[in-house]
Amino acid sequence: MDHDEGTPPPRWHIGQIMERVLRLARIPPAEVAAGLGISPRGLARFLDGTELPSRLLLERFARTCGADPTVLLLVREDQRRRTGV
């Protein structure tokens, strides 16, 4: 999605929720990233809200952390609707 000059891209709220799930799971981020097949830096971009994870990656993230993906997926879709992305 292109943004007007001077307008920052949206920050994805789902990242805050993913970070909380990760903290509660007590699994090192590098281990979760490896399980997802992405780099730790890639995971960090999702956690800090820079990038929106795909549905598939979000489902795999939740399962890797022992969480139900339903709420994460609902939050993701709600934010996508609100931002028009």
Question: How far apart, in whole angstroms, are the C-alpha atoms of residue 17 and residue 49?
Answer: 10
Cα 72 to Cα 6, 8, 16, 52: the distances in Å are: 30, 24, 11, 12
Residue numbers of the domain that contains 48: 14-83
CATH number for 54: 1.10.260.40
Q: Is residue 1 part of a domain?
A: no
Give the model confidence (pLDDT) of 1-59 as tens digits. Answer: 444 556 566 688 999 999 999 999 999 999 999 999 999 999 999 999 999 999 999 99
Write down the pLDDT at residue 40: 97
Find out whether 37 and 65 touch, Cβ atoms under 8 Å. no
Q: Is residue 48 part of a domain?
A: yes
Q: Is residue 71 part of a domain?
A: yes
Q: Is residue 20 part of a domain?
A: yes
Q: Is residue 25 part of a domain?
A: yes
How many folded domains does the chain comprise? 1
